Amino acid sequence: MKIAMIGAGGWGTAMMIELSGRHDDLVMYCRNPETAAKMRKSRINQEYLPDARIPEKVRIISDLEETVSGADCCIICTPSHVVENMAERIAPFLQKDALVVCASKGLADNEGHRLSEVIAKKVDGITNKIVALSGPNHAEEVGIGLPCATVAASEVPEAVQSVQDIYMSPVFRVYRSDDIRGVEYGGALKNIMALACGVLDGIGLGDNCRAALMTRGLVEMTRFGVHFGAKMTTFFGLSGMGDLVCTCTSVHSRNHRAGMMMAKGMTAEEIRSSTNMVVEGIRTARLVHEIALREHIDMPITEEVCHLIKGDHNALGALEALMTRAKKAESETYPM
C-alpha cells in the first residue's frame, strides 16, 4: 500500500513517523525543494519537529504528481485555508477510489464549509472515500512514540474502517465515527477555546476559572455543531472534549501560546509574525463569530475572543463581560 502525505509540517511528519512502523511505501510532499533536500539528508524536520527522526523508508519529495500518483491513501495535512486548493491540485493525479484523509483542523472558507466538504467537491467522480481524522494528538508526542488515541469519521463505513487498519498500533489507537460534522467542528472550534485559556493563564486567573471556561467552551462548541447537524454526543468524545483538554492545557499548543501573547497586548498580526506555525484559532474565531451572528447562535466566549483579536477589549474587559452576563440556569444553555 502506498501512502502519500501532503504537507511536511509537524503533524504531517509525526504521522509519517508513526505510520512507518507498519508501512513501507511512504511518500511525503514538501513544497519547498530546499527544505525537502535538507530533510532527506538530516532525516530531521528541524523547523517543525526537531526532536523526532524521520525513518529512511519515508521518501521526501517536492513533486506533487509523483507523491500522489498510485497512492492508495492520500492524507492532506496543510493549514485549513489551503486545503481546498490542495484538493484541487491533487485531483488529476488521484487514483480511482483512493482513500483521502483530512488531518487538518479548521474551517475552509468564510461560509463555514467543513474541510471534508470542499475536498469532496474537488475529487467528485474520483472517490467518495473522504475521512476526517481528529483528536488530542500533539505532533511533538506522536513523533517520539508516546501513546495517544484519535477518531476517524466518514459517511462511508469502509473508508473509516480502512483508516483504522492503516493507523492502528500499540501507541496510536483509532476509534470510528459516522459523525464527520461533529468530529470536524470539534477539531476546529477547540482552537478558539485554547486562545481563551491562553489569555486566562497569561493574566493568572487560576484553575477554577480555566475549568469554568473549558466547560462553557464545550457547550459553545456543541451548540454550534448541533445547529449544523452534528451529534451532541460527539463533542463528549476525543475530537471534542479530548482535544479541548489537550489544546487548552498543553505547552505544545500554539493556540494556547497565542492566547498568552494576546494577554500581554500583542495583536493578531504581531502573533502571526512571531511564529512560523499557523495559529488556526485566530482565523477560526473570526469565521465562527460571523457565522454565529448570522445564524443567531449564542457564543459569548467566541465573541470575546474576537473582541480581543480586534483590540476592542483587553483581557480584563473580556473577563468582566463574560462574568456579568444575564443570570441563567446551567441546563437551559445546553443544545437540545
> What positions carry a catalytic annotation?
190
**Amino acid (1-letter code) at residue 177:** S
Strands 58-61, 73-76: pairing kind: unpaired
Q: Are 13 and 25 in contact (CB under 8 A)?
A: no
CA-CA distances (angstroms) from residue 19 to 16, 172, 296, 325? 5, 10, 43, 48
Residue whose C-alpha is closest to residue 104's, from 89, 114, 95, 92: 114
- C-alpha cell of residue 114: 467543513
Strands (DSSP E) contained in 160-298 are 172-177
CB of 197 within 8 A of CB of 318?
Answer: no
Per-residue cell: 218:
464545550
Contact 210/197 with Cβ under 8 angstroms? yes
- Cβ within 8 Å of residue 165, ≥6 positions away: none
- Can you tell me whether residue 148 is helix, strand or coil? strand
For 158, counting Cβ atoms within 10 Å of its Cβ (0-12 exposed, 13-18 middle, 19+ buried), the class is exposed
- DSSP tag of 53: E
Helix H or strand E encompassing 307: helix 300-310
**DSSP bridge partners of 150:** 174
